[in-house]
Structure 1
């Protein structure tokens, strides 16, 4: 007589197994707008379309390693440490089958993307200026971009340029200009100064005045 199978000793093969993917929203500021990096897809599925750089997880591969591999192979980006953003698990998000995607986000200064952008298969698009492009991304990537932007805006609301998009040293106006691009709206000058100044360290130097009047120069304070 067979005894009921104990769930605690069931084989993993008894359970359905989705494929696991990683996708990364690489954000930067260029031409005065917040932009996201896209790559042109190869292969047969959605061939030639633009999407976030991503890949499927290989057997026994760590998520972080898969992310770095996809950025290196799909976008020519290396030396980064993206962070996990969110798991996207809608069973219908991928028309190839049941695929979970562990989305990641990274904030990269524009100068560090120069080599990547030399490829015809890599481009930047404004997250607000090209809504048709973003909305038309496959695999639910538009939702990933939206979540990545919200995460970035929350981070920039708390501290001065946490993504180090602005080269040091900088003036408070340059810092506020950057934060306004990220926030997508104007920020009150005095309120911004009072909140951010305690998190900055003065250099004791002034700007040269070639862009506006000379102003104090700052760097991000050590945490």
Structure 2
């Protein structure tokens, strides 16, 4: 007997994207869709169901463009969330994606909320945000601004301030300097501002 796919259950496949940024106030924040006025979907991540003949990456970009008004991003696959009860409408697998962008890449009226002050989110989107934040923070513990939020050249002070925003904690200047210097190249230029000592400028290796 020839095995056919009709013998197996077919869960729906969705994509949800955690677009993270650092606000002007220095908060790590995530792009959300507002709750629907008619009492439908509550606050949630940009997402959609996968269409017939569509690749996951195409669905992600479509959802960001049509639902959040965002284009030009390059989200990466993060994790598959497959809890049986994650969607009360039926069995839905979510292939979560993540991107980290400068705040200027998002529309001025976008709903951007600090990850430390999230409202109740639809489905398991709080878990997706938490997973994305942990993933990005692990990257920022290992290398200087790996997602390129800071335009080079930059001072160590500005770099440390960015890392503090992403990590959500204060960093000791000397310890941070020792950890980051092996991954930086001095430009030979100095930044002079105010009456303090000139600060050396660096770029990533």
Does TM-score exceed 0.5, indicating one fold?
yes
CA distance in 1, matches of 2:17, 2:196: 38
CA shift, 1:207, in A, is 1.2
Which runs of no fewer than 5 residues in structure 1 stay unpaired?
none
**What secondary structure does 2:149 align onto?**
coil
1:21-65: CA deviation from partner (whole Å, max 9, x where unpaired): 000000000111100000125597734x22100000001211011
Identify the match of residue 13 of structure 2 among 17, 20, 30.
Answer: 20
Counterpart of 1:201? Answer: 185
Which position in structure 1 is the counterpart of 2:79?
A: 86
**Aligned partners of 1:199, 1:46: CA distance in 2, in Å?**
48
1:214 aligns with 2:198: yes
Alpha-carbon deviations, 1:178-201, whole Å to 9, x = none?
A: 111111111222121112112112
Which SS does the other structure have where 1:217 is aligned? strand
Structure 2: distance between partners of 1:211 and 1:75? 44
Give the Cα–Cα distance (whole angstroms) in 2 for the partners of residues 212 and 63 of structure 1.
Answer: 51
Question: Following TM superposition, where does structure 1 have runs of at least 4 consecutive aligned residues deviating by more than 4 angstroms?
Answer: 41-45
Specify every segment of 5 or more residues in structure 2 that has no aligned partner in the other structure, as ranges. none
Q: Assess, with a 3 A threshold, how the Cα gap between structure 1 residues 180 and 52 changes in structure 2: closer, same or farther.
A: same
Partner Cα separation in structure 2 for residue 78 and residue 211 of structure 1: 42
Residues 142 and 59 from structure 1, CA distance in 2 versus in 1: closer, same or farther, beyond 3 angstroms? Answer: same
Matches within 5 A, 1:1-223: 5=1, 9-30=2-23, 31-40=25-34, 42=36, 46-47=40-41, 49-113=42-106, 116-118=107-109, 122-128=110-116, 130-131=117-118, 133=119, 136-210=120-194, 213-221=197-205
TM-score normalised by length of structure 2: 0.93
* Change in 2 beyond 3 A, CA 1:25/1:210: farther
Moved more, 78-87 or 98-107: 78-87
Distance, in Å, in 2 between the alignment partners of 1:70 and 1:211 is: 49
Over aligned residues, Cα RMSD in angstroms?
1.7
Tell me: CA distance 1:82–1:40, structure 2 relative to 1, closer, same or farther (3 Å). same
Question: Which whole-Å CA distance do the structure 2 matches of 1:175 and 1:69 have between them?
Answer: 33
Q: Number of residues paired by the alignment?
A: 204
Q: Which of the pair has more CA radius of gyration?
A: 1
Give the C-alpha shift of residue 76 in structure 1. 1.4
Alpha-carbon offset, residue 167 of structure 1: 1.8
